[in-house]
A and B are shown apart, each in its own frame.
Chain A
Amino acid sequence: EDKVVQSPLSLVVHEGDTVTLNCSYEVTNFRSLLWYKQEKKAPTFLFMLTSSGIEKKSGRLSSILDKKELFSILNITATQTGDSAIYLCAVEGASGTYKYIFGTGTRLKVLA
């Protein structure tokens, strides 16, 4: 059965800290891995990763995929209170139907 596991489930840090969020997966015919940020509303898209070893970067956020070891990490440097959110990882399997499997998310709280 396909699955996506995120760790840790929750995390509390202070402003300025660096955090690493993990996403491991077991999916038939992997196509892509997506990261989302969810505050008190709909998830918003951060990154899509399809190739191993290529870092995607946006400001203080970056992500990388390891297709051999079946995981991805999301790094946030110099955290701010506005980074407080649930971070979701989703994996798309290429079964022809383009379905996405989500992890349960990591809840990040950044303290001032």
Chain B
Amino acid sequence: DAGITQSPRHKVTETGTPVTLRCHQTENHRYMYWYRQDPGHGLRLIHYSYGVKDTDKGEVSDGYSVSRSKTEDFLLTLESATSSQTSVYFCAIRGQGLSTDTQYFGPGTRLTVL
């Protein structure tokens, strides 16, 4: 447990509605990440952040935006949800491992877009 929480844990929404997922960490880590996980694709990076107000795109960023106004919170927004965005979303941080930095995951959010 690296002090990462995600909310909500489950959400069902309609196509075309905006959705915001929240990732919260308590240990002041600089790097935070949003991934989606789909069968056959593994974990794919959506966006990541390397500091407050510093964010960049990952490999599957279309249809998603992020914001990081405080170190502890990293928000993922689906501007207009589509059925292809039905997925499990994981937040991660790059934290201090036993000898050097490694990546730890939050519990995940299961999103269903009808």
Q: Is the CB of B43 within 8 A of A88?
A: yes
Pick from B41, B45, B104: contact of A99, CB under 8 Å? B45
A65 at the interface (CB under 8 A from B): no
Q: Cβ of B94 < 8 Å from any Cβ of A?
A: yes
How many chain B residues touch A (CB < 8 A): the figure is 26
Known: A88-B42, A104-B41. A98 touches B31 (CB 8 A): yes
Interface residues of B in 70-114 (CB under 8 A from A): 90, 94, 97, 99-108
B56 within 8 A of A: yes
- Say which size band chain A's interface belongs to: 20 to 34
B16: interface (CB < 8 Å) = no
Contacts of B100 in A (CB 8 A): 32, 48, 50
Chain B residues closer than 8 Å to A97, beta-carbon distance = 48, 50, 56
Beyond A43-B105, A98-B31: 20 further Cβ-contacts under 8 Å? A41-B107, A42-B90, A42-B105, A42-B107, A42-B108, A45-B102, A45-B103, A88-B42, A88-B43, A90-B43, A97-B56, A98-B50, A99-B45, A99-B48, A102-B35, A102-B42, A102-B43, A102-B44, A103-B42, A104-B41
Interface residues of B (CB under 8 A from A): 31, 33, 35, 40-45, 48, 50, 56, 58, 90, 94, 97, 99-108
